[in-house]
Structure 1
Amino acid sequence: MTLADDIGALAAWDTPALSNALDALRLRPFHTGHTDGSVARITGGAVMAGRAVTARMVARDPGDEGIPLPRLHEAVSELDGPVVVVIEDLDQPAGAGAFLGEVNGSLLAALGVQGLVTNGRVRDVGELRRLPYPVYAAGLCVARAHMRLTAVGGPVAVAGLRVEPGDILHGDEHGVLSIPAAALPGILAKAALIREDEQRVVRWAKSADFSVSGLLALRRVRH
């Protein structure tokens, strides 16, 4: 299988299942590698899986013209495999103006992106709902303000998640998870084993065989 195939296979799983599998593989500290709840899926219902193209932006105050937007489009078009765009809003607090609205969203859709993640805010939500990819953000805002890109490429930090260009990202209604390349494709088999173990407990809990004594005899319950 190619890397694109491995990434595509992630879409059959939810983020909690993959997070459990990563914990079992012990490739990083348990509290790292995922968003912290300060961003949520604003639009879209599909599972997101792809490789990161990163950028940074500001919007609160006037300044120079920033990085030309075609630089971002070029980075998206040059990366192999499905792409997730990750934009760090550097304003304090973030969200003074939106990068993503109908126009930028439509251009990214034409490039085939699988999702967009930002710690900032987005607008034109009615139009964004009609795009073919999910959008993760801190919320909505009215204006573009003085929005401009300050960098394309390089590390970014969004909602507690540090992302490097090319990182593999997976997202659903729970949030966004970074998956180390070293975890592929083994993470899928590990997730399947953990799910079967969990479902065995769930089936027992729903059955006539359930008992308090049996519950107390369980060595450990993970969920």
Structure 2
Amino acid sequence: MTETSTDKNVARAAALDTATLSDALDRLGVLGQCHRIKGRDPAMHLAGRAYTIKYGPASTPPGTVGDYIDDIAPGTILVLDNDGREDCTVWGDILTEIAHRRKIGGTVIDGICRDVALALQLKYPLFSRDHWMRTGKDRVQVEAVQVTVNIGRARVQPGDILRGDTDGVIVIPAAHEEAVLNAAEEIHAAEMHIRDAVRDGKRLDEARRELGYHQLQTRRR
């Protein structure tokens, strides 16, 4: 895949909301809805390619929670798999400040973060299960980078597209991105036609029937 096509597909994903992308994933039978992962502010949005980090319980002596931030390219989405843990963090204000300065596209965590005030102040896109103050240092450590991870029961591989908005986070696997984006754009167009028809005086049930609204997300073989 060329850099040009990569940028194009990220831009296509950014132009669609997660609800539409979710329907497209359902139509294609692809699991990409990240359960319970949401922005620390409902206004937060992100779209970009995944750089993945896998955490595990700390060893004795403990390993590091990660000093990866200086090597991340602008626009990248950091994807941190802490196995859904809600008792300790893997992200705080130092990482937020540097990520914002380096123009990283956002962070998605299967787990929790802390120091949310700075992310809100800087409008840095930060998506997680929740937030709480207890550090992950001496509790968890980085096990691997750029490997397949699990975010909210969805599989994320390096280079997959992540899209986040007020409704949560979607992962679009690289192997399916053309099909998912094509389907999502078709669904979006159909829904816009329904809105236009209703604004022009047509009954909603009639407009929905004509444009197949109730089958837009139905699995197609």
Which TM-score applies when normalising by structure 2?
A: 0.78
Counterpart of 1:50, as a letter, is: G
User: Are the equivalent residues in 1 in contact too, given 2:162–2:169 (CA < 8 A)?
Assistant: yes
Give me the whole-angstrom Cα distance separating, in 2, the residues matched to 1:165 and 1:215: 41
Give me the whole-angstrom Cα distance separating, in 2, the residues matched to 1:131 and 1:216: 41
User: Are the equivalent residues in 1 in contact too, given 2:55–2:80 (CA < 8 A)?
Assistant: yes
Compare 43-52 and 126-135 and name the one that shifted more: 43-52
Give me the whole-angstrom Cα distance separating, in 2, the residues matched to 1:211 and 1:170: 30
Q: CA RMSD in A?
A: 3.1
Deviation at residue 217 of structure 1 after TM alignment = 6.1
Compare 94-103 and 39-48 and name the one that shifted more: 39-48
Give me the whole-angstrom Cα distance separating, in 2, the residues matched to 1:211 and 1:164: 40
User: Are the equivalent residues in 2 in contact too, given 1:44–1:132 (CA < 8 A)?
Assistant: no
Deviation at residue 74 of structure 1 after TM alignment = 5.4
Paired residue for 1:41? 39
Paired residue for 1:64? 61
Question: 1:167 and 1:195, CA in 2 relative to 1: closer, same or farther beyond 3 A?
Answer: closer
Paired residue for 2:219? none
Q: Which residue, 79, 104, 114 being the options, matches 1:123?
A: 114
Give me the whole-angstrom Cα distance separating, in 2, the residues matched to 1:119 and 1:3: 25
Give me the whole-angstrom Cα distance separating, in 2, the residues matched to 1:216 and 1:150: 49
Paired residue for 1:54? 52
Deviation at residue 89 of structure 1 after TM alignment = 1.2
User: Are the equivalent residues in 2 in contact too, given 1:67–1:151 (CA < 8 A)?
Assistant: no
Q: Which residue, 75, 91, 95 being the options, matches 2:86?
A: 95
Give me the whole-angstrom Cα distance separating, in 2, the residues matched to 1:196 and 1:68: 44
Deviation at residue 136 of structure 1 after TM alignment = 0.8
Counterpart of 1:18, as a letter, is: L
Q: Which residue, 7, 18, 28 being the options, matches 2:10?
A: 7
Q: Which residue, 157, 164, 167 being the options, matches 2:157?
A: 164
- Structure 1 segment 11-26 matched on structure 2, within 5 A: 11-24=14-27, 26=28
In the TM superposition, what whole-angstrom CA distance separates every residue of 1:35-75 from its partner, at most 9, and x where no partner exists? 12x2211137343111111112357x7743324623x2355
The share of aligned pairs that are identical, in percent, is: 23
User: Are the equivalent residues in 1 in contact too, given 2:194–2:204 (CA < 8 A)?
Assistant: no
Give me the whole-angstrom Cα distance separating, in 2, the residues matched to 1:75 and 1:206: 50
Give me the whole-angstrom Cα distance separating, in 1, the residues matched to 2:41 and 2:152: 17
Question: 1:131 and 1:137, CA in 2 relative to 1: closer, same or farther beyond 3 A?
Answer: same
User: Are the equivalent residues in 2 in contact too, given 1:84–1:113 (CA < 8 A)?
Assistant: yes
Deviation at residue 187 of structure 1 after TM alignment = 5.0
Deviation at residue 126 of structure 1 after TM alignment = 0.9
1:111 paired to 2:111? no
1:221 paired to 2:217? no
Q: Which residue, 62, 76, 81 being the options, matches 2:72?
A: 76
Give me the whole-angstrom Cα distance separating, in 2, the residues matched to 1:8 and 1:216: 28
More strand by share: 2
User: Are the equivalent residues in 1 in contact too, given 2:190–2:211 (CA < 8 A)?
Assistant: no
| Partner secondary structure for residue 40 of structure 2 | strand
User: Are the equivalent residues in 2 in contact too, given 1:44–1:133 (CA < 8 A)?
Assistant: no
Give me the whole-angstrom Cα distance separating, in 1, the residues matched to 2:107 and 2:13: 17
Unaligned runs of 5+ residues in structure 1 are none
